Amino acid sequence: KPKSQLKENLGNKEWCYELLNKTSRSFAFVINELEPSLKDAICIFYLVLRGLDTIEDDTTVELNTKLPVLTSFSEGLYQPGYKVFGYGMNNDEKNLVQNFDKVVDVFLGLGDGYCTIIHDITRRMANGMSEFLQKSVVTLPEWDLYCHYVAGLVGIGLSKIFHASGLESEWFATADDESNQMGLFLQKTNIIRDYLEDINENRIFWPRDVWARYTLHLENFKDIKYQIPALHCLNDLITNALSHALIALDYMSRLKNPQVINFCAIPQVMAIGTLNACYNNYNVFTGVVKIRKGQRALIVNAIQSKGLTATYELFFKFANEMRHKVPTNDPSAKKTIQHLESIEKLC
Ligand code: PS7
Ligand code: MN
Ligand code: MN
Ligand code: MN
Ligand code: MN
Ligand code: MN
C-alpha cells in the first residue's frame, strides 16, 4: 500500500475533523469522544461513506456517468491524490469529494487492519448502491437488502473495528447479523421519517409491496384525503422497524467501553424516539418530524451519565408511549403491541 504523505498528515487530519463536524448531523459529537485508538479510524470511515453517499445521492448526475464513479470509489482509497469532481448537492458535500485526497491521505496512515475493513465495506456498499440505482425497492427482503447495503454494512464494519481496537470482545468480529440489525434499525427509521424529503427528490425507499396494500400511488399520502391509509402504512413500516429493537438491545448489552456505548446507544435511542414521534403522526407526510433539540440534549446527557441503564430506561419510555398511541382499528395493531410489549418486558 502507498505511504501517506507524512508532512501534510497533521493538517489533513484537522481538515477531516472539520469536515466531520460540517457533514454529520449527529455523529461528530459521539465520534469526538471516542478513545484515540478508535477515533481516527471511525472519523475516516464516516467521511469515506459520506463521500460515497454524496455520489449515490446526487440526482443531477446521469446514471451512466455515476455508476463507474461509484464502483471505482473504493479503489480510490489506495490512490494518493484521488478526488471526485461534479458531485454534491450542498457545499459541504462538494468540498468533501473535491478534496477527497485529504481523506485518502489520513486513511493510508491508519493501521492495515482498519484499512482492510473500511475498504471492504466501501466496496460492498458501492456495489449495493449501484444495484439499487437500477431498480426500486419492491419486496420486504429487498427493503432489508437495500438497508443492509447502506447501513447494515456500516454496523458490520464498525463491529469489526471495535474488535480490532482491542476495546471490545471477540464476539463483535463475527456478529454480522446483530450488527446488520443495528444498522437496519437506524436506516429504516431514517427512510420512514424522510418520506416527504425523499419523494420530493423523486426517490422512493418505502417498499412497494407494503405501500401498495394501502394506496395506488405513494404520492397520494401527501394529500390529507388519504390520511387514513397513509397512517396505516406508516404504522405498518414502524412496526417492521421495531422488529430490530430486541437484537439492538442485546448487541448493546455486550459492549464494555463507555465511549463505544455512547457512540452506539445515542443513535439507537434517537431512532426509537423518532419512531415514537412519527407513530400515527400525519405530519410525516407534510413536513419533517424530528426530536426537539432540548429532548435530544436530555437523551445525550442521560446516556453519557448512566450508559446502558439509561438506554434501557429510554427504550422502555418510548415503547410505552408508543403502545398507548396504538389505535385499536390499525391493521398492524396486534403486531405493533407484541413488539412493544417484548421491548418493555426486556427493559
Ligand atoms: C461510519 C459512523 C453502531 C453497530 C454516511 C451508524 C447515509 C442512517 O442521507 O446522515 O441525511 O438521510 O441522517 C457512519 C451500527 C453512511 C448506520 C446511511 C456512516 C450502526 C452512508 C448509519 C454513515 C450503523 C449511507 C446516516 C446509517 O444518516 O442520512 C459511521 C452499529 C454514512 C450506522 C447512509 C445513514 C447514516 C445511516 P440522510 P443521515
Ligand atoms: Mn443515500
Ligand atoms: Mn444521504
Ligand atoms: Mn481477535
Ligand atoms: Mn434520509
Ligand atoms: Mn438527507
Q: Which pLDDT tens digit goes with each residue over 214-262?
A: 999 999 999 999 999 999 999 999 999 999 999 999 999 999 999 999 9
At residue 9, the pLDDT reads 61
Task: Tell me which residue has its CA closest to atom 22 in ligand 1.
Answer: 151
> pLDDT, tens digit, for every residue of 140-193?
999 999 999 999 999 999 999 999 999 999 999 999 999 999 999 999 999 999
Query: Angle at CA 282, nearest 5°, toward 244 and 225?
Result: 130
Q: State whether the beta carbon of 49 lies less than 6 angstroms from ligand 1.
A: yes
* Model pLDDT for residues 289-324, shown as the tens digit of each residue: 999 999 999 999 999 999 999 999 999 999 999 999
Residue 305 has what pLDDT? 96
Residues that are catalytic: 146, 193, 203, 263
Q: Supply the ipTM of this predicted assembly.
A: 0.94
Confirm or reject: Cβ of 76 under 6 Å from ligand 1: no
The answer to whether residue 10 scores a pLDDT higher than 70 is no
Pocket test for ligand 1, best of 20, 57, 171, 190 (most atoms within 8 A of CB): 190
Q: What's the confidence (pLDDT) of residue 67?
A: 98
Q: What is the pTM of this model?
A: 0.96
Instruction: Measure the CA–CA gap between 345 and 339, rounded to whole angstroms.
Output: 10
